[in-house]
Amino acid sequence: MKKINIFCFGFGQVAKNFIRKLNSENITINLSISSREKSHTKNFDGIQCDSFQFSEDTFDQKLIKNLKSSDHILISIAPVNGTDIVIKNFQKIFENSKTKWVTYLSATSVYGNHDGEWVNEKSKTNPTLSNGIDRLNAEKSWMKLAANKSLPVQIFRLAGIYSNQSNILARLKSGKAKIINKKKNHFISRIHVEDIANILFKSLENFKSKEIYNISDDKPASSEEVILYGSKLLDIEKPKTIELSSIESEMVKNFYKDSKKVSNKKMKNAFSYELKHTTYIEGLRYIRDNFI
């Protein structure tokens, strides 16, 4: 692949790292993105980029021309008020699209709580929280388009994302990290954003429509385990332990309701991919040695 016309709905850390990966592979990139900001042209890492205003009910009409000419489309916008706003506004365009590759970024919250047991892509999806319910409904909408209109769609269910800039080491250094006194065997799966970008790149040549993949590393672990390892890496005292009931944020409380270990076997087999950051141990050590 020498050239790619790509439209990114949403341009957060995953999309940005994916574009950087494409750029590092010397691929010519014709980049369009959506943003809540007014439409404008910008430069991203040396790439000229058309940024189009898009919100729940309004969008720059000029967006349509670029969307129609895109052969690759990445959707990283979360549902808004329970609705996938990309399908809501552009379903007809997708139904008649000639694109080669559509990737919807979902989340492992669609599985709900499995009491610390392993889940894979065939496991029951029983989301207990609104974000998981909304994500699952969005997945079904994209799969319906794929089935009825032969739209080439794959779904990536992302585990908890961390990066070289946003991670537990940064939170520990800022004093914001706390250990939550939570029940035993509370497992959370994670993935470094660089690995997500690498797998997205791999999928360009190993694409299979209507497939769902868990994107996670090899070692689910409790929040406490990761914090304690991070404290050891930085050679600082572990943060204090607080009760879950003392947290005011419902979002944080909800984070601790679901426990599961997310299997990445299908992902690794399908894309013949070896993780760069195999577990949080390698990932955090790499961040400490290169960015702290």
- Residue 25, in any domain of the structure: yes
- Residue 208, in any domain of the structure: yes
- Residue 248, in any domain of the structure: no
Higher pLDDT, 245 or 49: 49
- Provide the residue range defining the domain that includes 125: 3-159+191-217+261-275
pLDDT band at residue 244 under the 50/70/90 scheme? confident
- Residue 235, in any domain of the structure: no
Tell me the H-state helices in the chain: 13-24, 63-68, 85-95, 130-149, 168-174, 193-205, 223-234, 250-255, 265-271, 280-291
- Residue 240, in any domain of the structure: no
On the question of pLDDT at 74 being above 80, the answer is: yes
The DSSP string of 138-157 is HHHHHHHHHHHH---EEEEE
Rounded to a whole number, what is the largest CA-CA distance in the chain? 58
Tell me what the pLDDT averaged over the chain comes to.
96
pLDDT band at residue 254 under the 50/70/90 scheme? confident
What pLDDT, on the 0 to 100 scale, is given for residue 131?
Answer: 93
What is the mean pLDDT of the segment spanning 249-253?
A: 81
What pLDDT, on the 0 to 100 scale, is given for residue 184?
Answer: 76
Q: What is the CATH number of the domain that holds 271?
A: 3.40.50.720
For CA atoms 116, 119, 124, 126, the dihedral sign is: positive
* Amino acid at residue number 220: P
- Residue 178, in any domain of the structure: no
What pLDDT, on the 0 to 100 scale, is given for residue 256?
Answer: 86
Per-residue burial over 188-208, b if 16 or more Cβ lie within 10 Å, else e, is bbbbbbbbbbbbbbbbbeebe
252: how many CB neighbours lie within 10 A of its CB?
A: 12
- Residue 241, in any domain of the structure: no
Per-residue burial over 107-119, b if 16 or more Cβ lie within 10 Å, else e, is bbbbbbebebeeb
Residue matched to tokens 């003392």: 246
Cα distances from 262 to residues 99, 127, 156, in angstroms, run: 30, 14, 13
- Residue 242, in any domain of the structure: no
- Determine contact, residues 145/203, Cβ cutoff 8 Å: no
Cut 0.85: pTM above it: yes
On the question of pLDDT at 245 being above 90, the answer is: no
Pick the closest to residue 258 from 183, 177, 158 (CA basis): 183
State how many domains the chain has.
1
Cα distances from 46 to residues 40, 109, 277, in angstroms, run: 16, 35, 27
Instruction: Please state which of the ranges 185-189, 245-249, 274-278 shows the lowest mean pLDDT.
Output: 245-249
Structure confidence by residue, pLDDT tens digits, 93-117 = 999 999 999 999 999 999 999 999 9
Percentage with pLDDT > 90 across the chain = 91
- Give burial (CB, 10 Å; 0-12/13-18/19+) of 184: exposed
What pLDDT, on the 0 to 100 scale, is given for residue 123?
Answer: 98
Sheet with 40-44, strands from edge to edge, namely 40-44, 47-53, 28-35, 3-9, 72-75, 101-107, 153-158, 211-215
Structure tokens at 80: 């808004």
Pick the closest to residue 77 from 34, 16, 126, 26 (CA basis): 34
